[in-house]
């Protein structure tokens, strides 16, 4: 066998491989452009800006201050206070949405007449844009002409109109309520998808064994819903942690900064105060916090045999 005879198939393989590689790059190009252009490049710019003292969007040569913005941020009581409010918002809204979402999912999974109608209606709050939702709830809670005051007065529950959004802690809880009203249907649909995947035979077997509703729920429904719950927990935690629009439209961080969560405070720092360097450092803090939360959840969830993640 001559050496030429050996080399020819190799050259052919090599040529085919190059064509395949080029084709692969071509196919990947849109994804690469999207990931690097829309995700990684802005992230890189944010990191870059966070290392400079940028006090104007038009400053051509801001001073490099290294980790100065990060140190300033960590020393700021306002940042820690807004982080505390963010954790409160995240934990409480997630708990409310999970409890009500699960109850709603169980109802929608029950053999009701016109179940399709209920399943359709329940989507409406989720379909409403957040800004519209916030404006609606702001109107409902208005101290002077709000629907809630009118309703409670008509029912004789209150005698004087209540300024619902004028006390910091109460305002935060009412913003959570408005957020939960919109988002609970989404949670319910995730959990409903999980519920429909549970084989009915298991429930029949449990009923034969004489298990009551509560025991069936604890022993069958809840464990088999863990994959769906885990997805909901991760998604909603990330979303709740970076909550911004409902705060902006409902309370603008007030009263007395009582609803100034970290995303809102970051926005104010960057755009209202024109401290873009500090704002970028705070944005990186949000990225880091969400990454840590996600990793922690995923680690916890992976310990569960039922987890999909």
- Residues within the interface to other proteins (CB under 8 A): 17, 20-21, 24-25, 28, 32-33, 35-37, 40-41, 44-45, 48-49, 52, 54-62, 142-145, 160-163, 165-168, 251-257, 267-268, 271-276
Residue 58 vs 208, nearer CB to other proteins: 58
Residue 15 vs 120, nearer CB to other proteins: 15
255 preceded by cis ω (within 30°)? yes
Cα three-residue angle 49-261-100, rounded to 5 degrees: 130
Residue 161 vs 203, nearer CB to other proteins: 161
First to last CA, the chain: 54
Report, in Å, the least distance between residue 58 CB and other proteins: 5
Residue 48 vs 205, nearer CB to other proteins: 48
Confirm if 284 and 46 have CB atoms less than 8 A apart: yes
H-helix or E-strand spanning residue 275: none
Residue 100 vs 161, nearer CB to other proteins: 161
Report, in Å, the least distance between residue 165 CB and other proteins: 5
Select from 144, 184, 136, 134 the least CA-distant residue to 164: 144
Select from 69, 54, 63 the least CA-distant residue to 283: 69
Report, in Å, the least distance between residue 259 CB and other proteins: 9
In the block, tokens 């007065």 appear at 153
In the block, tokens 């939360």 appear at 293
Select from 110, 135, 276 the least CA-distant residue to 188: 110
Residue 141 vs 181, nearer CB to other proteins: 141
Report, in Å, the least distance between residue 302 CB and other proteins: 23
- C-alpha 48/C-alpha 281 separation (Å) is 9
H-helix or E-strand spanning residue 192: helix 168-196
Residue 249 vs 301, nearer CB to other proteins: 249
Report, in Å, the least distance between residue 10 CB and other proteins: 15
Select from 143, 168, 165, 167 the least CA-distant residue to 88: 168
Report, in Å, the least distance between residue 96 CB and other proteins: 23
Residue 1 vs 58, nearer CB to other proteins: 58
Report, in Å, the least distance between residue 181 CB and other proteins: 20
- The residues facing 53 across adjacent strands are 63
Report, in Å, the least distance between residue 73 CB and other proteins: 15
195 Ramachandran zone, left/alpha/beta (phi>0; psi -120 to 50): alpha
- DSSP string for residues in 228-253: HHHHHHHHHHHHHHT--HHHHHHTTT
Torsions phi, psi of 52, nearest 5? Answer: -120, 160
């Amino acid at each position: 066998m001559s050496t030429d005879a050996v080399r020819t198939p190799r050259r052919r393989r090599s040529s085919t491989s190059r064509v395949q590689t080029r084709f692969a790059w071509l196919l990947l190009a849109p994804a690469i452009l999207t990931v690097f252009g829309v995700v990684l490049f802005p992230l890189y710019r944010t990191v870059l800006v966070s290392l400079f003292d940028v006090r104007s969007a038009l400053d051509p040569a801001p001073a490099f201050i290294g980790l100065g913005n990060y140190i300033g941020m960590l020393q700021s009581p306002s940042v820690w206070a807004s982080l505390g409010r963010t954790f409160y918002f995240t934990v409480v809204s997630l708990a409310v949405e999970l409890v009500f979402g699960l109850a709603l999912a169980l109802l929608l999974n029950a053999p009701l007449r016109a179940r399709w109608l209920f399943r359709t209606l329940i989507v409406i709050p989720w379909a409403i844009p957040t800004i519209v939702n916030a404006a609606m709830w702001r109107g409902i809670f208005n101290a002077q002409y709000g629907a809630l005051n009118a309703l409670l007065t008509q029912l004789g529950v209150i005698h004087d109109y209540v300024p619902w959004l004028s006390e910091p802690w109460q305002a935060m809880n009412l913003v959570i309520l408005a957020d939960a009203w919109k988002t609970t249907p989404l949670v319910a649909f995730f959990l409903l998808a999980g519920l429909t995947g549970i084989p009915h035979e298991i429930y029949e077997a449990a009923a034969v064994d004489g298990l009551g509703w509560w025991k069936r729920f604890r022993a069958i429904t809840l464990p088999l819903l863990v994959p769906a719950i885990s997805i909901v927990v991760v998604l909603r935690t990330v979303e709740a942690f970076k909550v911004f629009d409902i705060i902006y439209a409902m309370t603008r961080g007030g009263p007395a900064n009582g609803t100034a969560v970290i995303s809102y405070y970051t926005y104010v720092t960057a755009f209202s105060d024109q401290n873009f360097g500090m704002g970028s450092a705070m944005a990186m803090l949000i990225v880091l916090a969400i990454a840590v939360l996600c990793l922690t959840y995923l680690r916890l969830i992976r310990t569960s045999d039922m987890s999909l993640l």
